Amino acid sequence: MAARAKGTGQAKGRRSPAKPKTPATSKAPATPTATVPTTATAAPAAPAGSPAGQRPAALRLAATAQLIEAAGLCVAAAFGAISTADGKSSQAASGVALTVFAVAVAVGIALIAAALDKARPWSRTPTAMIQVLVIIGGIALLDGGRPEWGVPALLLAAACLAGLLTPASLRALNRTPAKTQ
């Protein structure tokens, strides 16, 4: 006796190939019909007042500022690697870990900047939070007597937030409401 699959009333084991289901209520002959393929991801709508496919200049400014911040973090990671190699780190392993972490964060920031440049709606919040952290870091650098690092960080954060929060950028980053059928 074959074992039955629980709750299905059918035996377990090898099955024959599935047959296509045909609707029982439809008696009309099968004729090919033209269907329009629907996709789950639609291209983002162009912001009002700009040509289709073109993103606002302020959004490009924000993405560029964030990309420059990522490059600056890579430079800081390089300085950390040099300090670790010179033996100025308290422990070599922690210096290496900090350098690798800084590079990984810089890559993440660069990826978010690329998404922001493509006007991906999800990129707005991470960009704003990164700028809050850059502002905190810039103030800490100014407080620590490093204005050559703190002032550019604050200026880049201000430029990025200004570009991110313009009305044209907000329109470009808003999702279009889903139509109900």
Q: What are the pLDDT digits (tens) for 22-43?
A: 555 545 555 555 444 444 444 4
* pTM as predicted: 0.66
Distances in Å between the Cα of 3 and the Cα atoms of 12, 17, 18 are: 6, 20, 20
72 φ/ψ angles, rounded to the nearest 5 degrees = -65, -35
Mean pLDDT of all residues in 131-151:
96
pLDDT-based confidence at 10, cuts 50/70/90?
Answer: low
Closest by CA to 60, choosing from 170, 176, 160, is 160
Distance from C-alpha of 106 to C-alpha of 139, rounded to nearest angstrom: 20
Beta-bridge partner residues of 11: 4
Distance of CA 77 to the CA centre of its chain: 23
Give me the percent of the chain exceeding a pLDDT of 70.
70
Who wins on pLDDT, 22 or 110? 110
Sequence-ordered alpha helix ranges (H) in the chain: 57-85, 92-117, 124-143, 147-164, 167-173
Distances in Å between the Cα of 139 and the Cα atoms of 8, 21, 135, 168 are: 66, 66, 6, 29
Q: Where are the domains of the chain?
A: 57-173
